[in-house]
Amino acid sequence: MKITEVRAAVPRGTNEPRDWRTAMAQIAVTVETDEGLSGVGVGGGGPSGIHIIDTVLRPVLVGQEIGEDSDQALADIERLWERMYRAILPFGRKGLAYMALSGVDLALWDLVGKRAGQPVYELLGGLRHSEIPVYASIDAVVNDEVERGFKHVKLHLNRHSGDVPESIEAVLVARERVGADVKLYTDMFFRYDLESTLRMADAIFPYGVEWIEEPLSPDDLDGYAELVRRSPIPIAGGEHEYGVHGFREILDRRAHAILQPDASWCGGMTQLRKIYGLAAERGVWVVPHRGAEVWGLHAVAALGDRPLAESGRPWVTWLRGEPPIKDGFVRPSDAPGFGVELDPASVG
């Protein structure tokens, strides 16, 4: 099977957030072959990511062969990933270029799964978890999540901009709203420093918070390492890290207790499964960012020892076939590949 074309577009949705997630929007990638099969993936970087695919990654892939049996095909994906990685090394060891590469890599995995007639989780070793609990990723106020069956809820406290008393109050109100049986998590999105995070952790620890996510800059690994040592609540992060090399440094420095790679940003499935393997060696829990979306879901279903998935991006309305979340759980589809297709109207 020979790759004949690689195309990327920014799909048109209905409710994209008006911030960097629009300017650097999710991009849909399609890899076409001479057999008429095509694979679909989602990366990031908006128009800049598309430019990288068109000018750097497409020339690397077009004309390349992918083997017939699954083992050879997966070896070919690894080979092609290395070629793409070397092509972006001079300018894209992290960030936008990695996001673009991620979408291409996921499209290749989708393609191989479709050709084999198997879901991607089978290519990863087989389905271990047919039903995966989902945590509702919300703002700082709980609404009807408990009534909809969620047993896990994450609060985004970034709008409080480091205001510790306001954040503590939000956690207290949320705990009273959800009751004792629902697990709570917090996401601070770089808005705190070391000392304010520690004050927060001490104050909200009695409310049974399961983790504090990304309170510091992703580059402050020294600060994170100290947080891991001193915080009574586990420290999570990695949503904005790239590649197994970046995650190895996090683990070597013991800077996170929980890893949260995003399959559409961290280098695709080729890197995500290596991150899982590395974390397993160190006994570290992996909970992919937006893991209820198919790109992370198949890894959670096949590779996770403690399956848990974050609810997906509500503005991604242009994929057909995403498994629905019902009563706080998501069930991976048994359709070939990732089991989704692009809405043609969104990219036409």
Q: Which of 129, 152, 289, 298 is catalytic?
A: 289
Q: Can you list the positions of beta strands (E) in 192-255?
A: 209-213, 235-237
Token readout for 23 is: 């300017």
3-class SS of residue 216 = coil
Token readout for 13 is: 């949705």
3-class SS of residue 263 = coil
Between the CA of residue 114 and those of 27, 284, 291, 325, what are the distances in Å?
21, 32, 21, 24
Q: Residue 170 and residue 85: Cα distance in Å, rounded?
A: 42
CB 293 within 8 A of CB 321: no
Clarify whether 245 is annotated catalytic: no
CB 318 within 8 A of CB 10: no
Token readout for 132 is: 């995966």
* Edge-to-edge strand ranges of the sheet holding 3-9: 3-9, 27-33, 38-43
Q: Nearest Cα to 3, choosing from 87, 82, 107?
A: 107
The neighbouring-strand residues paired with 310 are: 135
The residues assigned a catalytic role are 289
